Structure 1
Amino acid sequence: MQAYAYLNSPPPVGYGKTISQPFIVALMTDLLEPQPGDVTLEVGAGVGYQAAILSELVNQVYSIELIEELALDTRRRLRNLGYRNVEIGVGNGYYGWSEHAPFDKIVVTAAPDLIPPPLLAQLKPGGKMVIPTGIPDKQQLILVEKSEGGKLATREVLPVRFSELDEGDDFAGAA
């Protein structure tokens, strides 16, 4: 991992997966406009990079990882580094984490074909979600804003290429 420290490319994390390159992490974080009191959901914990950044900016981060071993390693890593406002769960992020909803902000680091209805339902009125969507060769990074009245507005930000979001089994629980 150290070899990737100064590169703007997606570093591998094992299990045939990568995490987002630093530019994309920064862009997605900026689009969220995180605030100190926010409760934020991250879909796709990876190695905890995005969660660690968000934890410095918001009150609480809940992060879901589909791969149990990766989630356990990430949880241990973040605890050892002193991050106490991050909780890592094992499960399918397509379904969000209803136990801790609603969320002020949601960031998704894998691409479903369409925005998952459970994530929209768990986004608090006045909240924002950043999510890549689309088929593998035609993905767009989307900013979703939910008005105080619950109306949704979306904006395409830029073309991207992310791993596909699994739409299989429901959430499993905390790691």
Structure 2
Amino acid sequence: MKDTFRHQGKRQHLVEILKEKGIADQRVLTAIGKIPRHLFMDSSFEDHAYQDKAFPIAADQTISQPYTVAFQTELLAVEPGHQVLEIGTGSGYQTAVLCELGARVYSIERQQELFKKTKLFLQKLGYRPKYLSFGDGYKGLPLYAPFDRAIVTAGAPYVPKPLLAQLKIGGKLVIPVGDDPQIMTLFTRKSATEFEREEFGEFRFVPLLEDKN
């Protein structure tokens, strides 16, 4: 597991691309500039790891395009110490970004193969989310709620009510909603019953699957 000066140079170039595309949060850019994305991917894709593209990983899933990761993370407005629920651990790349921002991350993955692999891999890299779970993301993690923030990294055909219910007042949920493409949507909890909804354009994600285990 090597992270060379060449990789670091490519990462800085990627950060510049993200700035040009409108990502302005310096903490998000710093996190992406620090995390060795090539290590989260199949070695056959290593040369392309710092292109702004999504790539396949295990279990028919993908590692999201860096711009998408940065965009979702910027919308989330994570502060150090925030308790963050992540739905779809995947390769662990988004998890690592949240850890770099000082979040206490609780993440759910429903592909057993990915869950086992990513859990070991994040530890090897030194990222320590508070809790990694194998389970149904549509249900969230009521045991650890309420959360300051929640992020869904797959396309949800509808907004799962448990995820909204598990937010603190003032908490935010970032979720791509719809079939194909999805609309990036930000919910902010205003009260026990009231949520503000904002939409931020079209994105494409693999579908968020449920009831598999």
TM-score (norm 1): 0.90
- C-alpha RMSD of the superposition: 1.5
Q: Are the counterparts in 1 of residues 58 and 113 from structure 2 also a CA contact under 8 Å?
A: no
Q: Hey, what does 2:122 align to over in structure 1?
A: 78
> Does 2:141 align with 1:97?
yes
CA distance in 1, matches of 2:70, 2:110: 23
Q: Hey, what does 2:202 align to over in structure 1?
A: 159
Q: Deviations over 1:94-151 (max 9, x none)?
A: 1111111111000101122111001011111110111000122x42000111125552
Which structure dedicates a bigger proportion of its chain to strand?
1
Q: Hey, what does 1:144 align to over in structure 2?
A: 187
Q: Hey, what does 1:13 align to over in structure 2?
A: 57
Which structure dedicates a bigger proportion of its chain to helix?
2
In the TM superposition, 1:50-61 aligns within 5 A as: 50-61=94-105
- 4+ residue stretches of structure 1 with deviation over 6 A? none
Q: Hey, what does 2:108 align to over in structure 1?
A: 64
Aligned CA distance change for structure 1 residues 42 and 156 (closer, same or farther; 3 Å)? same
Equivalent residue of 2:187, what SS? Answer: strand
Larger-Rg structure: 2
Q: Hey, what does 1:22 align to over in structure 2?
A: 66
Which ranges of structure 1 fall in alignment gaps of 5 or more residues? Answer: none
Percent identity over the alignment?
Answer: 43
Q: Hey, what does 1:45 align to over in structure 2?
A: 89
TM-score (norm 2): 0.75
